[in-house]
Amino acid sequence: MVVFLFKRINQDVKHLFSNMQSSAPVEAGKNYEVTIEDIAREGDGIARVSGFVVFVPNTEIGDEVTIKVNKVMSKFAFGEVA
C-alpha cells in the first residue's frame, strides 16, 4: 500500500512539473519585443514577457530589443538579441 501511494505521489509531482513548463508565455525559437528592466548578478539583462523572466546577455537597462528565445525553463528563459 505504501509503495502504491509513493508511486501515485511521484506521478502527481511529475505531472505538476510538466504543466509548469508548458505554461510559460514564451516558446524557444520565437522572437519577442522586450525592454531590459534589470541586470542579473552575472551581468545578463533581465526582460519580462507577461511577467516571465528572460535573461538576455549583452544588454543594458532600458534597451528595447527584439530577442530570440533559446531555452525555456519552468520559471525563466534564456534568449539573445535577434
**pLDDT exceeds cutoff 80 at 1:** no
What's residue 23's pLDDT? 83
CATH number at 63 reads 2.40.50.140
Q: CB of 12 within 8 A of CB of 6?
A: no
The DSSP 8-state label assigned to residue 57 in this structure reads: S
The rounded distance, in Å, linking the Cα atoms of 49 and 18 is 20
The DSSP 8-state label assigned to residue 1 in this structure reads: -
Residue 73: closest CA among 31, 14, 27, 33:
27
49 three-state secondary structure: strand
Domain that holds residue 24: 2-81
Number of domains in the chain: 1
> 78 or 11: whose pLDDT is higher?
78
pLDDT digits (tens, 9 = 90+) for 10-57: 566 565 555 455 589 999 999 999 999 999 999 999 999 999 999 999
